[in-house]
Structure 1
């Protein structure tokens, strides 16, 4: 971390993101599927939260609705103090660009741009220049100093995902949403990416929400929230891989009701 940067500030009362009675329904009639069913959840600033649940539990839908990628059927979602359903499409696009960072399973890099150009692309699209101290801190956090002039085809999968993490952080977003960010990586590269996400929280003061199915990945988080059948059913603080796995197995037993 650069010596030019102030330390992260204290956690504030207002969460980085929150949802109230969040409901998302797809289809109609017999094809109607309730993906989210009245979810209330908050994501505190300066914390790393993992979202877990069985397949079809609604975890990716929750992330997409809270990030403004998919409109809610009912209920409200906020990024900071801004309620998303009140925004026009143009203002919502601007909010996603300036206030939200994204890391996906697929790296989504521009193949003709260098690593550095990919990292700073969100700022260039917004007509802004990177702050040198922040850029230095982000690059140091994800360990990319020696790869900045390489294009994606010249980088390993783990290195490409490091670029994607740095790109998500560069605009100092209110919150970073990561959807299965280690899904395309081997275990060693995946552990590195999870470490970088954790460092971005602890050293750079960011807020990260990660959807994952992997108990080992969830153990990097400060808190895990569990979904089942579109509802928030449990949460776990200071998780370990074993404690997360035990909760997941409990949801899959016939005696579990949500």
Structure 2
């Protein structure tokens, strides 16, 4: 069983696509613990398996071998219905493509997971989320009336509004300018420090990774290194070293 300090955990996690000559091993017997109340960044070159790892840990993708837990629940053993409920109640997501509902306002998109679950939002927390990502004057706008950066901030607010056990973010600042990106990353950092939120973020940006407590480095489907208390410069140096080694 996983320890109580792990918000998510994987043992011998493998993910294989295709078969025969077209078989690709995206994850190769990965062991990882995601500590609760911490901000973890996942980095690696294109094709390293970082997004696949996040999707498997979040229960969005099936696994080929091994085990995955969210909290004390083994994800790989759940029915589709139970897995859907676990993701709805315990997991927040921020996708690169926003995944907003075009007919809903910004506020309705933010509260959608809570509405589906039949839960009322914690108004004080919701106000904190909205004000921190700077959306107070955009709440009645639909996605088509928002810039890409504003849509991404709606997506971040939606992921955090229900205060889930763990938030998975795939390049959450990829479509933001540097100032807006820093605001969102600062809020993710605050949500960990002040509210005990657990964040797992896939990023290629050393500056974004520097907001994390810990960076995991993937290459060829395996965790090959990790860094505590990262800085942008140290992360960039480590990434360059990996690229030179692969080259």
Aligned to 2:7: 16
Q: Distance in 2 between matches of 1:155 and 1:255?
A: 41
Q: Is the 8 A contact 1:161 1:193 kept in 2?
A: no
RMSD: 1.6
Q: Distance in 1 between matches of 2:240 and 2:134?
A: 36
Question: Normalising by structure 1, what TM-score?
Answer: 0.90
Aligned to 2:20: 29
Aligned to 1:134: 125
Q: 2:36 aligns with which of 35, 41, 45?
A: 45
SS at match of 1:252: helix
Q: Is the 8 A contact 1:106 1:184 kept in 2?
A: no
Q: Unpaired segments of 5 or more residues in structure 2?
A: none
Q: Distance in 2 between matches of 1:143 and 1:200?
A: 15
| Residues 196-215 of structure 1 aligned to structure 2 (within 5 Å) | 196-215=187-206
User: Which of 46-55 and 177-186 deviates more?
Assistant: 177-186
Aligned to 2:63: 72
Q: Is the 8 A contact 1:48 1:207 kept in 2?
A: yes
Count matched residues.
245
Q: Distance in 1 between matches of 2:196 and 2:134?
A: 17
Aligned to 1:194: 185
Instruction: Give the drift of 1:13.
Output: 4.1
Q: Distance in 2 between matches of 1:241 and 1:176?
A: 22
Q: Distance in 2 between matches of 1:234 and 1:116?
A: 40
Matched, 1:61 2:55: no
More helix by share: 2
Q: Distance in 1 between matches of 2:105 and 2:149?
A: 16
Question: Normalising by structure 2, what TM-score?
Answer: 0.94
Q: Is the 8 A contact 2:9 2:68 kept in 1?
A: yes
Instruction: Give the drift of 1:192.
Output: 2.2
Aligned to 1:237: 228
Instruction: Give the drift of 1:154.
Output: 2.4
Aligned to 1:169: 160
Q: Distance in 2 between matches of 1:235 and 1:60?
A: 17
Query: Relative to 1, partners in 2 of residues 1:25 and 1:47: Cα closer, same or farther, differing over 3 Å?
Result: same
Q: Distance in 1 between matches of 2:240 and 2:123?
A: 46
Q: 1:179 aligns with which of 170, 176, 192?
A: 170
Q: 1:103 aligns with which of 64, 86, 94?
A: 94
Q: Which runs of 4+ in 1 moved over 3 A?
A: none
Instruction: Give the drift of 1:106.
Output: 1.3
Q: Distance in 1 between matches of 2:122 and 2:178?
A: 33
Aligned to 2:143: 152
Q: 1:246 aligns with which of 237, 240, 246?
A: 237
